[in-house]
Structure 1
């Protein structure tokens, strides 16, 4: 079975590559905004569709220096934004700002223009190879690459690959899963091989850093110093932001390990469809957003590896519901 899989790696561009990435971010943002404003300024959608990145290059020659596929993808992203708006899935498209902490562009692999050589990455329009921290082997064919940067300091590449995936061996086991805000999931039976949550998350480290940030803010206010000018506050703010990002990455990695392990061990997985959330999410390690990410990953991984994902209505009691779900699973196997 062929599936599209994503890989994300940290990259370390040199000065020349750094300049190219920043220029491409700006050109893609400029193209997107120009196309959006043109569509806003005319009532005739056919006329607005005539404006393309190629047409923009005539009036703005600096666009010729960047990757043409990146500009074409900016137009596709705008069309997708409008489609989501008209279908009620999102609000009206907004102009992109250079003040956003994250900037990105996407290019496509045409005639072997994106590939790895000696642990480095070749990208379109770049003559030199980009240094990559490739911690995983890519087994499929690269379809596209998205270069992203946070505050133009941390750079990443996300590769979309077409890969052949084989079904996992059948185990004839059943499991019921319900939402647990403390450990993300509650199982209908004991299972000892789950990833260790304490090792994956940061615990009280982030909470202590946030309290220290509040203290820095009070000290700055006491000395009548604006927060943007308070050096100690800004340093602590950067530490908090780094810990938040680190926690999000570790949580995502934990969910990836957990979903693959469940798919590997069980053939039939019964999951609560809409769990009832009563407690304040801020007080819990895992939120409804984490649960949604968990169910999304579990859904496509069961399809990839030949297992069964079955959603049931949300019960009132999580422990009782897990037992009921397990019984339903056994009945399914008997059939």
Structure 2
């Protein structure tokens, strides 16, 4: 099955290329913010909506004005792509996947997208529009054989690193099917407890570097605004944040790939993380653990490799139900990690019992669907219970 897949690489542009990229990033940011202001004002002042076609025509007029004539100094393709990104941001907002689009800032991550008519690809070398030399790319892994980029996105993070994302169409073969099914209970004490009895610890990447990060942030706050020393201190803070994010991303990718390769069916809970992070004492730990990113990786990797992902309803009482006899507790405090079933007397580890219940419910859904299930993700809504004021599950 052919899939569009992005391959990300580190790049080291020359001084001249960095200047061109900085100019391009600034123009893309300006166009995005200008279009966002246009769309917002048109809706609130005139009760009408502006779409890509109207904004593209207005952008042509904007580039002809004397005050913004500098927009012509960069390639027009990234500017048009900035409008498309804004359209996508509004689509995500109206469909409930994201909040209302916000203005892009200079100190945040910057990016510019080039389509095929704005770059030259020849024998593994990539030259962007307005550049005379190809980019120096660190090929950490090869591109698919015969893969031709349909678009490339070059970005710069807060730590000053440049990355290149190359989108190609690849033939991804499904993994050989097996009979393995596993349930995963996500948590904070341990990152995930599996129904097989395996427990993967929580690395707590942010917690390990929290003191170092706090020290760097205090030093940054003491520096005079606008000074070079303040910018150097800001860069140190950004590098610490990048170190934390990189280590977390690497851990999640390795674990999700391992589960996808070893198991045909993976069952997880559909957690509402954006509501859970409002917890007064656990919000920092929930943000550090990265549940949403982990489940998202399982979703698209299951779709790629022909696996089944079953997501159990978030209100299913997986922790309070005895896996041996089905007895349901009326309440179970969060600090209770082990308990004895009053019905059959079985002794349960809270997380392992939840993982076993999750895989049992997931397999029930899968068997009920039967042959209608295609290889890929399966979203299940089973065991939905009325919302309770008691947060213990």
Using the size of structure 1 for normalisation, the TM-score is 0.79
CA gap 1:132/1:321 in 2 versus in 1, 3 angstroms: same
Q: 1:238 to 1:96 in 2, by over 3 A?
A: closer
Give the corresponding residue for 2:110. Answer: 103
Alignment of 1:1-335 (within 5 A): 1-42=1-42, 43=46, 45=49, 49=55, 51-59=57-65, 60-97=68-105, 99-110=106-117, 113-115=119-121, 117=123, 120-139=125-144, 140-151=147-158, 153-191=160-198, 205-210=208-213, 212-213=215-216, 228=225, 238-274=235-271, 280-283=282-285, 286-287=288-289, 290-314=290-314, 315-316=318-319, 317-328=350-361
- Does the 8 A contact of 1:5 with 1:162 survive in 2? yes
Q: In the aligned structure 2, how far is the partner of 1:246 from the partner of 1:102?
A: 15
Distance 2:226 2:32 in 1: 34
Q: 1:327 to 1:205 in 2, by over 3 A?
A: closer
Matched residues in 2 for 1:322 and 1:229: separation?
Answer: 53
Alignment gaps of 5+ in structure 2: 320-349, 371-393
Preserved CA contact (<8 Å) 1:216 1:232: no
CA offsets per residue over residues 3-39 of structure 1, 9 Å max, x none? 1222222211112111111111122222223333444
Change (3 A) 1:150 1:211: closer
Q: State the alpha-carbon separation in 1 of the partners of residues 259 and 30 from structure 2.
A: 45
Which has the higher mean CA deviation after the structures are superposed, 229-238 or 66-75? 229-238
Taking structure 1 as reference, are residues 38 and 299 closer, same or farther at Cα in structure 2, changes over 3 Å only? Answer: closer
Deviation at 1:93, TM superposition (A): 3.9
Cα distance change on mapping 1:86 and 1:144 into 2, 3 Å: same
Residues 179, 291 of structure 1: 8 Å contact kept = yes
**SS at 2:173's partner residue?**
coil
Separation in 2, partners of 1:38, 1:214: 36
Equivalents in 1 of 2:10, 2:257: separation in Å?
Answer: 23
Q: Which has the higher contact order (CA 8 A, sep 6+)?
A: 1
Q: How many residues align?
A: 320
Does structure 2 conserve the Cα–Cα contact (< 8 Å) formed by 1:179 and 1:275? no
